[in-house]
Structure 1
Amino acid sequence: MSDKKKNEEQEHIYDSSEALAQELSKAEHFVEQNKKLVLTIGSVIAAIILIFLGGKYYISSQNTIAQQELFQAVYYFEADSLDLALNGDGNNYGLLDIVSEYGMTDAANVASFYAGTAYLKQGDFESALEYLNKFSSSDYLVQARAYSLIGDAHMELGDFGKAASMYEKAAGYNANKEFSPIYLQKAAIANERNGDAKAALANYESIVSDFFGATEYQDAKKHAARLRGLL
């Protein structure tokens, strides 16, 4: 290496070190001049971290309690004792209590699904929609089922357009051979009742083209042929 190049590199290192020292000095000077501000910011960050961790622990502990309450409510639901499932028995919370008291927990989310389904069985379709719309799940089968139940409620209320939309949403949510044809068939019925034969035909054709061998396949072929004759 030439002496000139070596000297240039040494000068570069020296300049970089000197610049770094200057920046550190500026930072130290800023901290010294703004101790109160720095301490306040540090305290706020620490408080946010503590609140976050405390909140996670609180929600976790609340969810454990809510899960215990949910067990009895689900037992009543499965026994078809829907009033007890919804409102409790005087000693145990019902589904509505769990949603109200433990709203941020996973158990409350599940309780919303059961409550909406219970109301649907009782014929209270507005309440069914209220609770089913609160529910969400990462399980694609359960979430698709919830969309279909929302469609059922709209169907019973005579809102066939919304019913068809929800059935189609259920069918397309991680589509599968077991359930998607069922939801598409329900969508076709809703669309026909809504006066939209073209949309109903599209639903049946989806079953025929995408779900060969499904239980609904032959009926879908028959209804698709019928609707083509009308259009």
Structure 2
Amino acid sequence: MAATKDKATTPQPAKTDFDLETSMHRVEDFFDRYKKKITIGVVAAVVVVGGYFGYNRFVKQPNETKAQEMIFHAQNYFAVDSFKLALNGDGNNYGFLQVINKYGNTKAGNLAKYSAGVCYIHLGEYQKGIDMLKSFSSNDLILQPTAYGLMGDAYMELNKTADGIEAYKKAGHYNDNELTAPIYLFRAGLALEKAGKGQEAIAIYKEIKEKFPKSKEGLEMDKYLARLGEVTN
């Protein structure tokens, strides 16, 4: 009986879900087998992270500074409507095109794309202006819709009315600020009238009247609605 009792009360080894020793050997074997690949992966991760900060400090920031220095004289010519000099430079100082070519990926280079687009449009090179403005991108609530609106102007000069309407609508609906939205929605309405789309023009004019009643365009909408046969209160 005693022997039976001792056997019954003797602690049994705890069951485990896996053999720890065997498992450790498998981990070591895995590392030994793939050590080279693992090491390369870790080094690559360090290089990517370190490279990102290194790029920002030693490449991106210096390039931004250089681009801002390059664009200075072009901006001065732009401010006084000397669009050819602003675009191409004066022989001693760079123009927007040189800034774009050398530092197009910087903030200053992006702004140069906008300014170059404006220059082209003023010089009557409308398609070049459109292409340049398409390459420009900004989150600015005034500058970006203005770029779309200028593209609309250029399309209309090229008698591409459908494209002009689309660009004007994009400008007018970019955000509901009273500075740009009513202007470009109004141009969209006029372009729709030109295209013989009176009902769509009426819808745009009503939108201006409702959203921007105190704007210059909003105050004149009754007149434009009336000439399309739309009676307003």
Task: Say which structure is richer in helix.
Answer: 1
- Whether the 8 Å CA contact 1:76–1:82 is kept in 2: the answer is yes
What count of residue pairs does the alignment treat as equivalent? Answer: 219
Point out where structure 1 has 5 or more consecutive residues left out of the alignment: 1-6
Larger radius of gyration: 2
The one-letter amino acid of 1:130's match is: D
Q: CA deviation at 1:58?
A: 1.1
- 1:19–1:141 distance in 2 versus 1, CA, 3 Å: farther
SS at match of 2:229: helix
- Verify: 1:29 aligned to 2:29, yes or no: yes
1:175 maps to 176
Q: CA deviation at 1:104?
A: 1.3
TM-score, scaled relative to structure 1: 0.86
CA distance in 2, matches of 1:23, 1:67: 60
The one-letter amino acid of 1:204's match is: Y
Q: CA deviation at 1:19?
A: 6.4
Q: Map of 1:1-231 to 2, 5 A cutoff?
A: 11=14, 15=16, 23-56=23-56, 57-228=58-229
Q: CA deviation at 1:22?
A: 5.8
CA distance in 1, matches of 2:208, 2:23: 68
1:4 maps to none
CA distance in 1, matches of 2:110, 2:220: 36
Q: CA deviation at 1:15?
A: 3.1
The one-letter amino acid of 2:28's match is: E
- 1:85–1:33 distance in 2 versus 1, CA, 3 Å: same
CA distance in 2, matches of 1:48, 1:24: 31
- 1:133–1:32 distance in 2 versus 1, CA, 3 Å: same
- Whether the 8 Å CA contact 2:213–2:219 is kept in 1: the answer is no
SS at match of 1:151: helix
Identity %: 35
Point out where structure 2 has 5 or more consecutive residues left out of the alignment: 1-10
Q: CA RMSD in A?
A: 2.3
Q: CA deviation at 1:221?
A: 1.5
Q: CA deviation at 1:155?
A: 1.0
CA distance in 1, matches of 2:19, 2:133: 62
Q: CA deviation at 1:203?
A: 1.0
CA distance in 2, matches of 1:147, 1:19: 67
CA distance in 2, matches of 1:92, 1:20: 72
The one-letter amino acid of 1:75's match is: N
CA distance in 2, matches of 1:73, 1:24: 67
- Whether the 8 Å CA contact 1:185–1:204 is kept in 2: the answer is yes
Which 10-residue stretch deviates more, 172-181 or 158-167?
172-181
SS at match of 2:111: helix
CA distance in 1, matches of 2:140, 2:23: 53
The one-letter amino acid of 2:146's match is: R
